[in-house]
């Protein structure tokens, strides 16, 4: 009988080594190596198969393409994030902070599919069946085709999937599922990798869409090896503050649709409800005539969203001024302040800067640069910008305003919400016709944009 050997596996990146080390050579994290038992080597003849059953290469022109069948839910927001609905045989990973609403969302989706007379299996490894029933009663879920199973053994889970043959499966969560022949504890790198691989084979072979819930680390990324995100077909992040009602479902990977799509939900007493007009929600509490505030038209996937960017500039009381950003890349704020100081003549080197995206939204596209710069200049001068203006544009290091993508959708969203004027890069003026209800002005530099938004009105 082959002898089992011990190995040390990094719980962050999956790096394996025969001896313990304080610092992982793979991800350079400290105290992440955990001892595990390695499986005995399997002789090569076990993997020998009949050559007649092996897959053979095909010419790409001879392969018949077909549209992936999708199972739409009753949530258009979720359908858009997934690319049009749930794809048969897909494996989707959803992560988020504890208590953010992952289980609530998936239980509501399970009930919607079960209401279409399709069997659904909801597997909870963290709660008992009675706890899941209590949540279902709170959400008014009474579907006859919704089956609940409280189990953590992967083999028992597979047995129930074969028995029920469901049309949709939820695993809550993957860190609680274990495989008996893997000696490490549930939630370890080896267990997560092996269980996910087995679930992926079931999804592909039986054509059953499987949603798995993943815990997140304190940095906000999904716990476990990075390999987990590569194995699945789609990765969704459920974001938002626990003490606020709005939740954002964001797609960061999707093999069946566009990435960086975003869906907005609101947590209410009877579950999550969709927010069909997020721009109006994000701007409803905006203060009129306040210095340091400007509205930007950002693109979240294929959807334009208007959000408010706020800035507070105040003299520093320390040797090194502070630069803080919420909802933006923190490296972007000092860069734009340097451009304003060099190209617009604003003395900001002795000023603390605090920049925030109102509403808890995270913006990572360069098209918000001009709005951030205008809000900083507005707060520094203590001069309010025009409340009916929307600003869009990327700012270069020489102070120029560069073109952005999908300008038509951004301007149409601003016009729909009643804004009177939108300031865009001058290079974006050609090739399209703006709506008649809004004035579109092109600028070439940051100084021109500042003169328009902060000048005398």
| Binding residue numbers | 96-103
For all residues of the chain together, what is the average pLDDT?
Answer: 87
Q: Is the pLDDT of residue 172 over 80?
A: yes
Q: Is the pLDDT of residue 220 over 70?
A: no
**pTM across the whole model:** 0.75
Q: Is the pLDDT of residue 454 over 60?
A: yes
Write down the pLDDT at residue 47: 41
Q: Is the pLDDT of residue 456 over 80?
A: no
The 10s digit of each residue's pLDDT in 45-71 is 444 445 455 778 989 888 887 777 889
What average pLDDT does this structure show over 354-383?
92
Contact in structure between 260 and 251 (CB atoms under 8 Å): yes
Cα–Cα distance measured from residue 334 to residue 337, given in angstroms and rounded to the nearest whole number: 5
The 10s digit of each residue's pLDDT in 380-435 is 999 999 899 999 999 999 999 999 999 999 999 999 999 999 999 999 999 899 89
Cα–Cα distance measured from residue 95 to residue 102, given in angstroms and rounded to the nearest whole number: 7
Yes or no: domain 281-454 corresponds to CATH 3.30.230.10: yes
Write down the pLDDT at residue 2: 53
Cα–Cα distance measured from residue 380 to residue 348, given in angstroms and rounded to the nearest whole number: 8
Greatest pairwise CA separation for the chain in angstroms: 87
Write down the pLDDT at residue 39: 58
Write down the pLDDT at residue 242: 58
Q: How many helices (H) and strands (E) does the chain have?
A: 11, 23
What average pLDDT does this structure show over 77-92?
92
pLDDT bucket at 241, cuts 50 / 70 / 90:
low
% of the chain exceeding 70 in pLDDT: 92
Write down the pLDDT at residue 4: 65
What average pLDDT does this structure show over 243-272?
84
What average pLDDT does this structure show over 6-11?
83
Q: Which of 217, 157, 152 is nearest to 186 (CA)?
A: 152
- In CATH, what number does 70-275 get? 3.40.50.300
- Phi and psi at 88, nearest 5°, equal -65, 135
Write down the pLDDT at residue 120: 96
- Pairing type for strands 210-214 and 168-172 reads parallel
| Binding residue numbers for ATP | 96-103
Q: Any idea what the Cα angle at residue 145 is, between residues 141 and 151, rounded to 5°?
A: 85
Q: Is the pLDDT of residue 457 over 50?
A: no
Residues in a beta bridge with 405: none
The 10s digit of each residue's pLDDT in 120-156 is 999 999 899 999 999 999 999 988 999 999 999 999 9
Write down the pLDDT at residue 116: 93
Write down the pLDDT at residue 45: 46
The 10s digit of each residue's pLDDT in 302-329 is 789 999 999 999 999 888 899 999 999 9
Cα–Cα distance measured from residue 356 to residue 332, given in angstroms and rounded to the nearest whole number: 12
99 vs 425, residue with greater confidence: 425
Residue position matching structure tokens 């328009």 = 452
| Token reading at 441 | 């002005």
Q: Annotate 255-312 with DSSP letters as a single string.
A: TTS-SS-EEEEEEETTEEEE-S-HHHHHHTTPPTT-TTEEEEEEEETTEEEEEEEEEE
Write down the pLDDT at residue 36: 79
Cα–Cα distance measured from residue 55 to residue 47, given in angstroms and rounded to the nearest whole number: 15
Write down the pLDDT at residue 44: 45
The 10s digit of each residue's pLDDT in 14-56 is 788 888 999 988 888 888 888 877 655 544 444 444 545 577 8
What average pLDDT does this structure show over 178-207?
88
What average pLDDT does this structure show over 105-120?
95
């Amino acid at each position: 009988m082959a002898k089992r050997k011990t190995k040390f596996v990094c719980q962050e990146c999956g790096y394996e080594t025969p001896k313990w080390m304080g610092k992982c050579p793979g991800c350079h994290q400290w105290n992440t190596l955990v001892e595990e038992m390695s499986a005995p080597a399997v002789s090569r003849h076990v993997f020998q198969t009949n050559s007649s059953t092996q897959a053979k290469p095909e010419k790409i022109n001879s392969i018949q393409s077909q549209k992936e069948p999708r199972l739409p839910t009753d949530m258009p927001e979720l359908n858009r994030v997934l690319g049009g609905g749930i794809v048969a045989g897909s494996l989707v990973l959803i992560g988020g902070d504890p208590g953010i609403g992952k289980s609530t969302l998936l239980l509501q989706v399970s009930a919607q599919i079960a209401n279409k007379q399709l069997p659904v299996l909801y597997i909870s490894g963290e709660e008992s069946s009675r706890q899941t029933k209590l949540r279902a009663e709170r959400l008014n879920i009474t579907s006859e085709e919704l089956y609940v199973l409280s189990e953590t053994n992967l083999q028992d889970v597979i047995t129930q999937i074969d028995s029920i043959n469901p049309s949709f499966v939820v695993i809550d969560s993957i860190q609680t599922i274990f495989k008996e022949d893997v000696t490490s504890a549930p939630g370890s790198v080896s267990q997560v990798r092996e269980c996910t691989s087995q679930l992926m084979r079931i999804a592909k072979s039986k054509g059953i869409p499987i949603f798995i819930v993943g815990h997140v680390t304190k940095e906000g990324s999904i716990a476990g090896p990075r390999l987990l995100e590569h194995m699945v077909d789609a990765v969704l992040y459920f974001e938002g503050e626990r003490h606020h009602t709005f939740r954002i479902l964001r797609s960061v990977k999707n093999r069946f649709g566009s990435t960086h799509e975003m869906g907005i939900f609101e947590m209410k007493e009877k579950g999550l409800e969709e927010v069909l007009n997020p721009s109006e929600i994000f701007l409803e509490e905006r203060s009129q005539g306040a210095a340091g505030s400007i509205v930007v038209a950002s693109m979240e996937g294929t959807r334009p969203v208007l959000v408010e960017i706020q800035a507070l500039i105040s003299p520093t009381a320390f040797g090194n001024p502070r630069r803080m950003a919420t909802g933006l890349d923190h490296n972007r704020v000092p860069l734009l302040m340097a451009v304003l100081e060099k190209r617009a003549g604003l003395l900001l080197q002795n000023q603390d800067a605090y920049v925030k995206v109102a509403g808890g939204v995270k913006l990572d596209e360069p098209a918000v640069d001009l709005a951030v710069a205008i809000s900083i200049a507005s707060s520094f001068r203590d001069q309010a910008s025009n409340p009916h203006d929307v600003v869009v544009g990327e700012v270069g290091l020489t102070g120029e305003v560069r073109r952005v993508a999908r300008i038509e959708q951004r301007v149409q969203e601003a016009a729909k919400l009643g804004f009177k004027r939108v300031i865009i890069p001058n290079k974006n003026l050609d090739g399209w016709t703006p709506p008649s209800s809004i004035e579109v002005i092109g600028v070439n530099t940051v100084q021109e944009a500042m003169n328009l938004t902060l000048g005398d009105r």
